[in-house]
A and B are shown apart, each in its own frame.
Chain A
Amino acid sequence: MAKKKNQVQSPAVNLGVQHRKTLWKQMKSRWQIYLLLLLPLIYIIIFAYVPMGGLIIAFKDYNFRDGIFGSPWVGFDNFIEFFTGRYFPVVVPNTIILAAYSLVVTFPIPIIFALLLNALPGRKYKKVIQTVTYIPHFISVIVMVGLLYQILNYRTGLYGAIYSAITGATAPDILAKGSNFYHLYVWSAVWQSTGYNAIIYIAALAGVDQELHEAATIDGASRFQRVLYIDVPSILPTASIMLILAIGNVMNIGFEKAFAMQNSLNMNYSEIISTYVYKVGLAMGITDFSLSTAVGMFNSVINFVLLLTANWGSKKLSGSGIF
């Protein structure tokens, strides 16, 4: 029955099969593929799209007894409660400062690192530097934070040991000062991820046509000039895509690391939207699922808008975006 109705030509590439096939016939002949896709499809719907549907509780006053559908609608009350609550002026600025600081520092440093590494003479040394600088990326957040706090301990850590070896005095306790949280967060990320994040730029630089370099050398360009006028332009497209992705994730600033670093000394600086979402929703004495969901949704929406804006901006400026 359907065979006759669906006289639509398949939009897919026909793989060299010359005769026309109807869409239905083609789908039917690919039944094994659809069978394979069944499980992944069920998975993504249940574990990604059902929770998105669950976002409706942001507009309800959820209580366990009535469930998601039975709980009463309250419109934007949860959002208003967040905007007017006493945590709003704390968590929103903290998130923005941390996100902006991270972006400004951790975006350009891998690019500079890749440019320098690419210009470094000596293949072996290059390889050694590259391999060693990848390693910290594979350290877990917990171990990373444990390491950070252990090494920066002003009495027993490496920092304390070096400080007193040089000056003879006891080091000041940099961990006790809450406002150092931002610096610790961002610069430990530089330590951990620069090598890894540089991979893509290093690979892009390896693809640069060597004839360009040779021609420029003949014309008397110095190595530094070649970096500026050959290497930099050649990684700009890659960099702009990475920037869009970075901006599109800027508000997703890591819950795991901020939460792991959090302690009573830095709480005023380290309480960000995602850690607040966790506390309101799951960790406080009286949890509020609806409020927590609303705060999380607020964050996701801002993030998504930033992504679209960055993508739009990139398309306007350079003609390329991620979608």
Chain B
Amino acid sequence: MHKFKNLGTNDKIFYVIITVVLTLFFLIVLYPCIYVISASFSSGSAVQAGKVILWPVDFSLEGYKTVFNTKDVWTGFRNSLFYTVVGTSINIVMTMVAAYSLSRPDVPGKNGIMLLFTFTMFFNGGMIPTYMLIQNLNMLDTIWCLIIPGAIGAYNLIVARTFIQNTIPLELLEAAKIDGCSDIKYMLKIVIPLSKAVIAVLVLFYGVGHWNSYFNAMIYLHTKNLFPLTLFLRQILLMEQIDPSTISDPELQAQMAKAAGVIKYALIVVSMVPVMLIYPFIQKYFVKGVMIGSIKG
């Protein structure tokens, strides 16, 4: 807007300071991200010796080779993908149906039902009562315990409901009613197609939530075959355990000890790939989503 040289001294100093501060923060956020990627493409010995500072040293794919040869990683990846896709689909259907129904101004009792949902944002039964419920429903150690509980998040419901209330004019509903359109048909033909933006936001919120969660899996699952990727990541990254027998290549097994650091960096990159793939497509919507949610929080 203004030419820099035309500014007063005070403003010049101010702009210089904020530019420096923000750039510093920007670099602090960015640098570890670049470092992880660089380290994952370096050789195990370079990482171990602390030689990697910014760019890959002794470019090598040994970290990725080990990661892709580890059976647990594949199992986890497959399971996480399943939980994320199926779980998010259920989330979207349940949330949109509830949000649409509760957005209608002509439904007696909707405020009371909304309150039932909102209250769960601030108070819940806690770990053990929920665990006992899952136990009584015979969901322990099944895929369902990661998919069904949490099917509707109160916060996401508020986001979707507010979106529908604010962006879809009631005149459409009136017109549809006059044309003899039923309530369910109105939802399928009018509301859902007009709610693509908020559905994108919900996909991001729920999807990332499923992909990143480990707590429910940790307390409900015992069978290794059902574990999501985060549980294997926890074992490898935090508990320093990688079961050598699950690495199919014996040569790699020997390298393992040497390359522990590089493997971790490669694993971190691999686990981030799905989120980073969908992020650019949904990014433009999600700022909007955060906004909608907070207006009526």
Q: Please report A residues at the B interface, Cβ cutoff 8 Å.
A: 10-16, 23, 26-27, 30, 32-37, 39-41, 43-55, 57, 68, 113, 116-117, 119-121, 128-129, 131-136, 138-143, 145-147, 149-151, 155-158, 160-162, 164-165, 191, 194-196, 199-200, 203, 222-224, 238, 241-242, 245, 248, 255-256, 259-260, 274, 277-278, 281-282, 289, 292-293, 296-297, 299-300, 303-304, 307, 322
- A sample of 8 more A-B contacts (CB under 8 A), given A34-B101, A36-B184, A259-B215, is A33-B183, A47-B151, A51-B126, A52-B124, A129-B22, A141-B212, A146-B233, A307-B122
Closest residue of B by beta carbon distance from A160:
B50
> Which residues of the partner chain B approach A128 to less than 8 Å between Cβ atoms?
26
Return the CB mask of B259-270 against A: 1 if under 8 Å, else 0. 001001100100
Can you sample 16 A-B contacts with CB below 8 Å? Answer: A12-B105, A15-B105, A36-B183, A47-B133, A50-B129, A50-B133, A52-B125, A53-B125, A136-B33, A200-B290, A241-B294, A241-B297, A248-B122, A260-B238, A282-B219, A293-B129
> Which residues of the partner chain A approach B74 to less than 8 Å between Cβ atoms?
none
Contact for B265 among A150, A248, A259, A296, CB less than 8 A: A150
Least CB distance, B54 to chain A, in whole angstroms: 10
A200 and B268 in contact, given A36-B100, A282-B131, A304-B122 (Cβ under 8 angstroms): no
Closest residue of A by beta carbon distance from B26:
A129
Q: Which positions 11-31 of chain B face chain A at CB distance < 8 Å?
A: 11, 14-15, 18-19, 21-22, 25-26, 28-30
Classify chain B's interface size. Answer: 35 or more
Please state if A300 and B297 are interface contacts (CB–CB under 8 Å).
no
Q: How far is the CA of A47 from the CA of B137 in the complex (A)?
A: 11
Q: Is B214 an interface residue (CB 8 A)?
A: yes
Interface hit among B62-70, B245-253, B271-279:
B271-279
Please state if B291 and A203 are interface contacts (CB–CB under 8 Å).
yes
Contact for B120 among A14, A26, A48, A129, CB less than 8 A: A48
> Which residues of the partner chain A approach B173 to less than 8 Å between Cβ atoms?
15
A147 and B19 in contact, given A12-B106, A15-B106, A32-B183 (Cβ under 8 angstroms): no
A304 and B123 in contact, given A120-B22, A278-B219 (Cβ under 8 angstroms): yes
Q: Is B78 an interface residue (CB 8 A)?
A: no
Please state if A32 and B182 are interface contacts (CB–CB under 8 Å).
yes
Return the CB mask of B201-235 against A: 1 if under 8 Å, else 0. 00000001001111100010000000000100110
> Which residues of the partner chain B approach A296 to less than 8 Å between Cβ atoms?
126-128
Q: How far is the CA of A222 from the CA of B17 in the complex (A)?
A: 14
Contact for A222 among B8, B49, B212, CB less than 8 A: B8
Q: How far is the CA of A45 from the CA of B112 in the complex (A)?
A: 13
Return the CB mask of B99-124 against A: 1 if under 8 Å, else 0. 01110111111100100110010111
> Which residues of the partner chain A approach B279 to less than 8 Å between Cβ atoms?
135, 138
Q: Is B187 an interface residue (CB 8 A)?
A: yes
Q: How far is the CA of A86 from the CA of B176 in the complex (A)?
A: 65
Closest 9 CB pairs of A and B: A51-B125, A54-B129, A146-B237, A140-B212, A296-B126, A161-B50, A40-B98, A32-B183, A51-B129
Please state if B174 and A140 are interface contacts (CB–CB under 8 Å).
no
A30 and B149 in contact, given A13-B106, A136-B29, A162-B53 (Cβ under 8 angstroms): no
Q: How far is the CA of A248 from the CA of B126 in the complex (A)?
A: 16
Q: How far is the CA of A133 from the CA of B53 in the complex (A)?
A: 21
Closest residue of A by beta carbon distance from B105:
A13
Closest residue of B by beta carbon distance from A248:
B122
Q: Is B254 an interface residue (CB 8 A)?
A: no
Please state if B15 and A121 are interface contacts (CB–CB under 8 Å).
yes
Contact for A191 among B28, B122, B211, CB less than 8 A: B28
Please state if A54 and B132 are interface contacts (CB–CB under 8 Å).
yes
Please state if A222 and B152 are interface contacts (CB–CB under 8 Å).
no
Q: How far is the CA of A65 from the CA of B116 in the complex (A)?
A: 32
- Residue among A49, A142, A199 having the largest count of chain B Cβ atoms under 10 Å: A142
Please state if A55 and B129 are interface contacts (CB–CB under 8 Å).
yes
Contact for A293 among B10, B126, B170, CB less than 8 A: B126
Please state if A132 and B291 are interface contacts (CB–CB under 8 Å).
no
Please state if B29 and A199 are interface contacts (CB–CB under 8 Å).
no
> Which residues of the partner chain B approach A27 to less than 8 Å between Cβ atoms?
108-109
Q: How far is the CA of A298 from the CA of B223 in the complex (A)?
A: 33
Contact for B129 among A57, A116, A136, CB less than 8 A: A57
> Which residues of the partner chain B approach A44 to less than 8 Å between Cβ atoms?
116-117, 120, 152
Q: Is B47 an interface residue (CB 8 A)?
A: yes
